[in-house]
């Protein structure tokens, strides 16, 4: 009944909004990116970076894509099915064309194009080992083919066509408009992989024209396009213009007459541009947000929009094997963090509200995040989100009034226990914990200082936070020499399954990225800690093995995640939800917790005057009622 009512209410509100909104829609959309996010590779198969894929997802269409609710929908494929989960068949459209950077017809797309695409990815000499991990893990024979090409002399490997691929790898094109993938093991989530760049097509005619080497270093003006837009103009570090593809296969998709992506230096600059009407959305920096929010007279006061969550979920990744600047083990921290009471004190004793306000000044608590896996990655058959299952098991809820995880009493108890045990172990308290931010990034530094206050408020007896700066690369300067006590890092999935997240944290696995490179658990020596990690790893492996029943799989993953969180091996931290001004309705854009489709400029609902806070609230209501 309650749900029904809210649906009705939402509909009424939405309708009234529609009635009010007689503003013109946008026909030419100007988006922006900061300078650090300029395209580096135009070769979609070569790229795994969001900076490239944010543009290329408009240009090269693969098998599938997502819609505004995050559901899978067809792209070049219209239909996809499997019998046993290990052989997947994709039926393709027959009207997909390749065009060049002037929108001129170049070739038709057939199923062979996907074979050439995979061949390019797996061929060591052509793609230089980029983007191989997912296909090698999933597709039969892919790893063998990779090794085979690696052993070949360069010239020979560059000359390979798809014959050898078809022979060795589980991919086939029974006719011009069908592609079949054979997997190593049944994978229910394989279609979500089909949205990602590693399975994108290449036109053999283009390869013929510019060569494999030329394709890897392709530029926008030699690339061929089969997606909704082609790039008609590109000035590095300045702007790029996307023009609708005249031969685009799907007439139902609503496109802009042009999309310009303007490059800006900073958020502050972006705001100036929005004010001048030069760009059509802007994520607000804290000072502008505050100025607008505090001043009812401000022209933008009624236009503040809270963004939807991104696909990234941010965690405290604790370092179990910290070193000092000389390369010696930093024992105080290593001993402290191996102590479970210490970790639990960390888990219960930090009220992050003030720190979240650095990201989201108005509703800090909408950034709260209590699970490791991001929302929307997997859905149970009853419609519940996977993370809701985890939260129920954890007994935590989002009520947006207080920071729920914080529990002063429990924290005090754990602090006392940790203090006793650590003092007994000869650790001098408070332990110095080092946290690193990029030099020259004042907002990051300010946030770090707030974080220090949040941590020391209740854990002051245990921890003292030291803030340090690195010049250019966190990985090189801090992570590899293991100088940090913890990092806060966001992880986003490439495809839709919790293994994307939990698989990164298992013990004794070189491919478990976070465990290996951030937690450094494989180098830790505390037996109790390792035992805890081993138990967690076992839970994950158990879940990974369940392939026939998705609900059971997700439940098993949820158990593993709850175990991990309750032992505070990784401590969930926040979601990045900022505020913006926008002429785009965020509830009409592609919204997906995995993959690369977020910036696909199709079917946008727009308003040339900008959407108001009230309008977006109504859309939000309507979206959550669904």
Partner 1 sequence: MAKKQHKRKTVQELEQPVVKLDVDYSAVDKEPKKERPYGRAYLGARSAMPEEQLFEFAEYRPQDAERTGYSNYSYWKSVWQNFVRNKPAIIMSVVFILLFIFTFVAESLSQYDVATLRQDNQSIFLLPSSEHWFGTTQAGKDYWVITWYATRVSLALAGLVAVGQIIAGTVIGLVWGYVRKLDRFFTELYNLIDNIPTIIYMTLIALMVGQSLGIMAVTMIAFGWLGTARNVRNLVFMYRDREYNLASRCLGTRLWRVLFKNIFPYLISVIVLRLTLAIPGTIAYETTLSYLGLISEEYSLGILLRNARDSFLRYPHMLIFPAVIVSIITITFYLVGNAFSDACDPRNHV
Partner 2 sequence: MLRYCIKRLLQSLITVLLIVSIVFLLMRLLPTDYYFREDELMKFTDEQKNERLEAEGLLDPPLVQLGNFYRNMIQFQVTKGKSVVRAYALDQYIGMKLKGEEIPVAKGQKTQWAFNLGVSRRVSAGQPVQKVIAEKVGMSMKIGLTSLAISLVIGVVLGVMQARRKDGILDRVGIGYTVFVNAVPHLVSYSLLLILGNKVFGLPAIYKARDPVNSLILPVVCLALGSTAGYMLWMRRYMVDELNKDYIRLAKLKGMSTTAVMFRHVLKNAFVPLAQYLPYSIVFTVGGSLLVESFFSIPGMGPMLSTAIPRYDLNLVQAIVMFYAILGVLGVFLGDLLMCLIDPRISLVRKGESR
Q: Which of 80, 90, 124, 361 binds partner 2 (CB under 8 A)?
A: 124
Give ∠ CA 417-421-425 in degrees, rounded to 5.
165
Asked if residue 301 binds partner 1 (CB under 8 A), the reply is: no
- Given 3-state DSSP classes, what are the helix, strand and coil percentages for the chain, each rounded to the nearest 5? 40, 20, 40
Q: Which of 26, 44, 76, 218 binds partner 2 (CB under 8 A)?
A: 218
Distance CA 626, CA 616 (A): 15
142 binds partner 2 (CB under 8 A): no
361: contact with partner 1 by CB under 8 A: yes
Taking a C-beta distance cutoff of 8 angstroms, is the pair 306, 508 a contact?
Answer: no
Please answer whether residues 204 and 193 qualify as being in contact, where contact means their C-beta atoms are separated by less than 8 angstroms: no
Residue 210, contacted partner among partner 1, partner 2, none, CB below 5-8 A by kind:
partner 2
Q: Helix or strand or coil: residue 468?
A: strand
Cα angle 510-514-519, degrees, rounded to a multiple of 5: 100
Q: Does 469 bind partner 1 (CB under 8 A)?
A: yes
Cβ atoms within 10 A of the Cβ of 9, count?
Answer: 14
Residue 50 binding result from partner 2, partner 1, none, given CB thresholds of 5 to 8 Å by partner type? partner 2
> Given candidates 382, 472, 527, 626, which one binds partner 1 under the rule CB under 8 A?
472
First to last CA, the chain: 14
Q: Which of 477, 523, 535, 538 binds partner 1 (CB under 8 A)?
A: 477
Site for partner 2 (CB under 8 A): which residue of 1, 235, 325, 424?
235
Distance CA 38, CA 46 (A): 16
Residue 161 phi, psi (nearest 5): -100, -150
CB of 183 to partner 2, least distance (A): 21
Residue of 153, 383, 426, 440 that binds partner 1 (CB under 8 A): 440
Residue 73 contact partner, candidates partner 2, partner 1, none, CB within 5 to 8 A by sort of partner: none
- The answer to whether residue 102 forms part of the interface with partner 2 (CB under 8 A) is no
Cα dist from 367 to 273, 354, 500, whole Å: 27, 11, 21
Interface residue with partner 2, options 27, 69, 95, 217 (CB under 8 A):
217
Helix or strand (DSSP H, E) at 32: strand 28-34
Residue whose CB is less far from partner 2, 258 or 353: 258
Contacting range for partner 1; rule: CB under 8 A; set: 262-270, 526-534, 560-568, 602-610: 262-270
548 binds, among partner 1, partner 2, none (CB under 5 to 8 A by kind): none
Which of residues 267, 332, 496, 595 is near partner 1 by CB under 8 A?
267
276 binds partner 2 (CB under 8 A): yes
Give yes or no for a contact between 195 and 66, defined as CB atoms under 8 angstroms apart.
Answer: yes
Distance of alpha carbon 204 from alpha carbon 213, whole angstroms: 13
Q: Which of 2, 3, 237, 626 binds partner 2 (CB under 8 A)?
A: 237
- 3 state SS of 210: helix
* Residue (295 or 476) nearer to partner 2, CB: 476
DSSP string, 76-97: SEEEEEESSSSEEEEEEPS--E
Candidate ranges 173-181, 262-270, 282-290, 453-461; the one touching partner 2 (CB under 8 A): 262-270
Q: Is 471 in the site for partner 1 (CB under 8 A)?
A: yes
Q: Which of 6, 67, 182, 262 binds partner 2 (CB under 8 A)?
A: 262
**Distance of alpha carbon 556 from alpha carbon 558, whole angstroms:** 5
Please give the backbone phi and psi of residue 329, each rounded to the nearest 5 degrees, phi first. Answer: -60, 135
Contact pattern for partner 2 over residues 454 through 483, marking x by CB under 8 A: -----------------xxxxxx---x---
Q: Select the binding partner of residue 445 from partner 1, partner 2, none (C-beta < 5 to 8 A, by kind).
A: partner 1
- Tell me which stretch binds partner 1 (CB under 8 A): 89-97, 165-173, 336-344, 357-365: 357-365
Token representation of residue 28 = 């030419």
Q: Is residue 466 within the footprint of partner 1 (CB under 8 A)?
A: no
Q: Are 236 and 220 in contact (CB under 8 A)?
A: no
Look at residue 361 and give the partner it binds from partner 2, partner 1, none, a contact being a CB closer than 5 to 8 Å depending on partner kind: partner 1
Size of the site for partner 1 (CB under 8 A): 31
Please enumerate in sequence order all residues whose Cβ is within 8 A of that of 528, keeping only pairs 6 or more positions apart, or say none: 338, 340
Q: Measured between alpha carbons, how far is 149 from 165 in angstroms, rounded to an integer? A: 10
* 151 interacts with partner 1 by CB under 8 A: no
Q: What is the DSSP letter of 139?
A: B
The site string for partner 2 over 193-212 (x = CB under 8 A, - otherwise) reads ----------------xxx-
Task: Specify which residues 488 forms β-bridges with.
Answer: 316
Cα 392 to chain centroid, rounded? 24
Concatenated DSSP letters of 429-456: SSEEEEEEEETT-HHHHHHHHHHHHHHH
Q: Which residue lies nearer to partner 2 by CB, 38 or 605?
A: 38
Q: Hey, what's the torsion of the CAs at 437, 442, 443, 446, to 10 degrees?
A: 80
Near partner 2 by CB under 8 A: residue from 153, 510, 527, 626: 510
34 binds partner 1 (CB under 8 A): no
87-92 and 77-82 strand pairing: antiparallel
Token pair, residue 591, equals 């919204």
Which two structure tokens, joined as six digits, stand for 465? 């936070």
User: Rule CB under 8 A: is residue 402 a binding residue for partner 1?
Assistant: no
Tokens of 180: 């079949």
Nearer to partner 2, 131 or 371 (CB): 131
Question: Could you tell me the sign of the dihedral formed by the alpha carbons of 201, 206, 208, 211, in that order?
Answer: negative
Q: Which residue of 137, 278, 298, 421 would you call a contact of partner 2, by CB under 8 A? A: 278
Count of other CB atoms within 10 angstroms of residue 541: 14
Beta bridge partners of 243: 230
The distance of closest approach from Cβ of residue 445 to partner 1 in the complex, given in angstroms and rounded to an integer, is 5
- Site of tokens 């002429």: 583
Least distance from partner 2 to the Cβ atom of residue 512, Å? 11
Does residue 362 interact with partner 1 by CB under 8 A? no
Q: Which stretch binds partner 1 (CB under 8 A): 39-47, 114-122, 266-274, 495-503?
A: 266-274
> Would you count residue 323 as binding partner 1 (CB under 8 A)?
no
Instruction: List interacting residues with partner 1 (CB under 8 A).
Output: 266-268, 272, 285-288, 290-291, 354, 357-358, 361, 437-443, 445-446, 449-450, 453, 467, 469, 471-472, 477
Instruction: List interacting residues with partner 2 (CB under 8 A).
Output: 35, 38, 40-43, 48-50, 124-125, 128-130, 132-133, 150, 209-211, 213-219, 222, 235-239, 260, 262-265, 269, 272-273, 276, 278, 471-476, 480, 510-511, 513
């Amino acid at each position: 009944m309650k749900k029904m009512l809210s649906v009705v209410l939402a509909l009424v509100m939405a309708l009234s909004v529609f009635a009010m909104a007689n503003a013109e829609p946008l026909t030419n959309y100007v988006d922006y990116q900061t300078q650090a996010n300029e395209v580096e590779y135009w070769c979609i198969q070569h790229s795994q970076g969001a900076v490239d894929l944010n543009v290329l997802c408009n240009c090269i269409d693969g098998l599938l894509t997502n819609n505004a609710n995050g559901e899978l929908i067809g792209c070049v494929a219209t239909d996809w099915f499997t019998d046993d989960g290990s052989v997947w068949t994709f039926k393709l459209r027959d009207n997909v064309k390749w065009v060049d950077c002037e929108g001129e017809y170049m070739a038709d797309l057939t199923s062979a194009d996907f074979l050439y695409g995979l061949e390019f990815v797996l061929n060591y000499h052509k793609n230089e080992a980029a983007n191989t991990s997912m296909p090698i893990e999933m597709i039969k024979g892919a790893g063998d083919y990779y090794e085979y090409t690696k052993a070949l002399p360069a010239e020979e490997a560059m000359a390979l066509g798809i014959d050898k691929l078809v022979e060795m790898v589980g991919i086939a094109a029974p006719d011009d408009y069908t592609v079949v993938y054979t997997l190593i093991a049944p994978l229910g989530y394989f279609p979500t992989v089909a949205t990602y760049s590693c399975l994108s097509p290449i036109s053999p005619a283009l390869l013929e024209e510019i060569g494999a080497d030329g394709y890897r270093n392709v530029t926008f003006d030699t690339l061929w396009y089969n997606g909704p837009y082609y790039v008609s103009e590109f000035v590095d570090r300045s702007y790029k213009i996307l023009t609708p593809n005249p031969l685009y296969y799907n007439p139902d998709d609503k496109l802009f007459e042009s999309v310009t992506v303007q490059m800006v230096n900073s958020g502050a600059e972006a705001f100036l541009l929005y004010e001048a009407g030069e760009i059509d959305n802007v994520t607000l920096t804290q000072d502008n947000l505050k100025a607008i929010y505090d001043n009812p007279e401000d022209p933008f006061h009624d236009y503040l929009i809270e963004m939807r969550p991104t696909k990234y979920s941010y965690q405290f990744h604790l370092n179990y094997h910290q070193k000092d600047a000389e390369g010696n083990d930093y024992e105080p921290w290593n001993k402290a963090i191996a102590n479970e009471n210490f970790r639990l004190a960390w888990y219960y004793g930090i009220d992050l509200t003030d720190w979240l306000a650095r990201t989201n000044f108005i509703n800090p608590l909408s950034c709260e995040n209590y699970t490791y896996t991001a929302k929307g990655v997997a859905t149970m058959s009853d419609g519940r989100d996977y993370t809701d299952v985890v939260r129920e098991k954890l007994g935590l809820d989002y009520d947006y009034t207080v920071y729920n995880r914080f529990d002063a009493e429990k924290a005090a108890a754990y602090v006392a226990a940790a203090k006793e045990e650590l003092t007994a172990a000869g650790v001098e308290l408070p332990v110095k914990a080092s946290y690193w931010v990029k030099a020259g990034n004042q907002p990051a530094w300010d946030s770090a200082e707030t974080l220090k206050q949040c941590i020391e408020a209740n854990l002051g007896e245990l921890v003292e936070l030291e803030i340090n700066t690195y010049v250019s690369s966190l990985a090189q300067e801090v992570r590899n020499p293991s100088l940090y006590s913890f990092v806060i890092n966001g992880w986003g999935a490439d495809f839709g399954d919790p293994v994307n997240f939990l698989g990164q944290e298992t013990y004794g696995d070189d491919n478990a990225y976070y465990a290996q490179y951030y937690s450094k658990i494989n180098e830790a020596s505390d037996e109790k800690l390792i035992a805890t990690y081993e138990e967690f790893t076992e839970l994950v492996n158990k879940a990974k093995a369940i392939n026939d029943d998705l609900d059971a799989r997700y439940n098993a993953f949820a158990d593993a995640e709850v175990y991990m969180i309750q032992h505070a091996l990784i401590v969930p931290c926040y979601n990045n939800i900022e505020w913006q001004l926008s002429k785009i309705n965020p509830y009409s854009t592609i919204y997906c917790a995995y993959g690369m489709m977020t910036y696909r400029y199709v079917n946008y609902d727009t308003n040339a005057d900008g959407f108001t806070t009230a309008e977006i609230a109504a859309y939000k209501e309507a979206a959550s009622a669904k």
